[in-house]
Amino acid sequence: MKSLRNWDNKTWLSSAKYISSFKNFLKSKTKITNNSKILDIGCGRANIISYLCKQYKFSDKPIGIDIVKNKNIRKNITYKKIDSIKYLKKKDILFNLILIKQTIHFFSKKQINCLLNLAKNKLDKNGQIFIFSLKTKKNEIPCFQIMESKLSKSLQRDEDLIKLIKNNFKNFRTHNFNFKVNLPKSKYIRMIKNRYISCLLNISDKEIKKGINEIKSNYKNQIKFTDTLNCINYKK
């Protein structure tokens, strides 16, 4: 699969409002202090942990890992270009908070179980893991026909992985993180051209062009919807 480089670049996911809302969500579910040790798996440009670092002035920089090194990675975090399983196997650090956000669909079932077991072993006392994935039922992401078909298949696979995660954790809580998106249609079209979501990666340029014409016809100039993430929260 091609590398996903644009999921948090110039989208609502990189907006100050989104990141602030996400911080408030975490704050309502877990205690974060300046002594918290945080790991973000599949961090992208590390927008979220960078914002947390600015807010809490951590004594230890939060760590972000990803297999793709994007441009403009935030400077106030520690970034590692490495596979998450390899990283967790070789590190002795214990974390208070491990984030796995919109990343599980890149793992096989075997890899997911391995990742979760390693992550649980890397939690400090009362440490927590938060796993976020797109809402699998009645998702509101604006789509064109081919995109919708591919997203549907991806979300079905996510459902299977979510069941696997819940079986692995045994004790967990579930939450929803909701963010109301309101953006110009022209900006959303640029996001599609940049293949901002994984279901667009293997769609041809010709299909993208056709899909953009569908978006132009089917949506108003201002696109509004709720971006909902399912959250599985495990506490040691």
Average pLDDT over residues 173-189: 96
Question: Does pLDDT of 103 surpass 70?
Answer: yes
Average pLDDT over residues 106-122: 95
Q: 227: which residues sit within 8 A by CB, 6+ positions away?
A: 12, 140, 141, 178, 179, 180, 181
Please report the sign of the dihedral spanned by the C-alpha atoms of residue 195, residue 200, residue 201, residue 203: negative
pTM given for the model: 0.92
| % of the chain exceeding 70 in pLDDT | 96
How do residues 3-19 score in pLDDT, each as one tens digit?
Answer: 455 455 568 888 999 99
Question: Does pLDDT of 1 surpass 50?
Answer: no
Rounded to whole angstroms, how far apart are CA atoms 73 and 44?
Answer: 8
Neighbours of 134 (CB within 10 A): 20
pLDDT at 8: 56
pLDDT at 2: 43
Pick the CATH number of 12-182+226-235 from 3.50.50.60, 3.10.28.10, 1.10.510.10, 3.40.50.150: 3.40.50.150
